[in-house]
Amino acid sequence: MKKVFLFVCILLASCTAKVEKEVLPPTGEEDRAFWVETLVRLADPVLTNLSNNTLKQNMPFESLSDDPFRKKVSYLEAVGRLLCGIAPWLELGPDESAEGQLRAKYIDLAVNGLKNVVNPDAPDYLTFGEPYQPLVDAAFLAQGLLRAPTQLWGNLDEESKARMITELKRSRVIKPWESNWLLFASIVEAALLEFTGECDMERMTYGVTKFRNEWYKGDAIYGDGLAFHADYYNSFVIHPMLTDVLIVLKKHKLEGADFLDTQLVRHTRYAEQLERMISPEGTFPVVGRSIVYRFGIFHALSQVCLMDILPPKVEPAQVRCALTAVMRNQLKSPANFDANGWLKVGFAGDQIGMSESYINTGSVYLCASALLPLGLPLSHPFWSAPFTEWTNLKAWKGIDVGADKAIGN
């Protein structure tokens, strides 16, 4: 009997070992494949229809608002927010790899689609100059163009470039609110400066000055205007756009560019805080407005990864693994997409009650902003390093992760 018991124990141990051997964490290459799959799933309905001039015809409209203007502007929301997120991946350009060929496809779709966006005779000519929402998404589009100057802006023909400039300038009739909206005006002017050499300097720098001199609350957190808001707008808009505007100011050697060094310290610290928001299970606090932008709440963290300026104690691969866990959690329900592949309004499925009246089908494509690290090549440690545990995963396992410290400026 003892021999039988011993045999069973050995057999069970052997089976357990085999199971443990089989359940290996995904490699960086496997994670990247999932990210690219996610990108394609988000991009394909938007860019295929836009390229075919059928975006207005086929994109659904889902919102708590019954204002017809919300539907009118929803198309630019989808285009601007999607391209803002996938532009760095497109900017890698085509190559002979399967992923490179996929990029070639979506570069062509995006460029042809942008030509339609700014062509007054095209069915998918979009609205830029009517108050107020178009300013927001002209800004996300401008940020996308800045992030892909070769593959998006550079591949437009001269007529389409001139039309794009005209449309971006139309947004100048919109006076932004004294909040994160000021940075929408700033980033549009930054793009105009970058692509034409001219801009409205006051419109570009006014928001930068407000955030620099009046709205900083400490430890990398800005107010959304004078008030502090317990939400993720420091990530959705404030840090990414403030940083990108300052980069353009520095490139053109303009007044105010000296703030970039301080802003990068703050941006990096905020990215560190965002990484610590991710639980051991790959979830994060459901706090604040616009929570249905899903993993778009990690825009600022993803941008720091793309810029390769993570703090020393945060390994690029741990961010990859943490964000992959979040995206898998949020997208595992088939209710995230409708029958035709369009993204639904929700947090981890079809949950329109978690949204606000200003949100619609187009708005939620801001989740694509978390995909910025796809602009890093597969050889970068973000992708090439093996599975790495993130801060909360280590801490809750009893691993000493060190103290978290605020910054002083």
What's the pLDDT score for residue 408?
Answer: 85
Domain that residue 331 falls in: 27-395
- For residue 127, is it within any domain? yes
Query: How do strand 221-222 and strand 216-218 relate by DSSP bridges?
Result: antiparallel
- For residue 209, is it within any domain? yes
CA dihedral 209, 87, 368, 387 (to 10 degrees): -100
The CATH number linked to 184 is 1.50.10
- For residue 405, is it within any domain? no
State the Cα–Cα distance between residues 105 and 95, nearest whole angstrom: 11
Quick: pLDDT tens for 289-325: 999 999 999 999 999 999 999 999 999 999 999 999 9
What end-to-end distance do the CA atoms of the chain give, in Å? 71
- For residue 15, is it within any domain? no
pLDDT above 90 covers what percent of the chain?
93
- For residue 260, is it within any domain? yes
Output the pTM of the full model: 0.94
* Short-list 249, 239, 156, CA closest to 199: 249
Q: Do 310 and 385 meet the contact criterion of CB atoms below 8 Å apart?
A: no
pLDDT above 70 covers what percent of the chain?
95
* Short-list 280, 324, 301, CA closest to 36: 324
- For residue 223, is it within any domain? yes
State yes or no: pLDDT of 4 exceeds 50.
no
Instruction: Report the number of secondary-structure helices (H) and strands (E) in the chain.
Output: 16, 2
294 in the Ramachandran plot: left (φ > 0), alpha (ψ -120 to 50) or beta? Answer: left
Q: Per the structure, how many domains does the chain have?
A: 1
- For residue 18, is it within any domain? no
What's the pLDDT score for residue 5?
Answer: 46
- For residue 404, is it within any domain? no
Quick: pLDDT tens for 32-89: 999 999 999 999 999 999 999 999 999 999 999 999 999 999 999 999 999 999 999 9
Beta bridge partners, 216, equal 222
What's the pLDDT score for residue 263?
Answer: 98
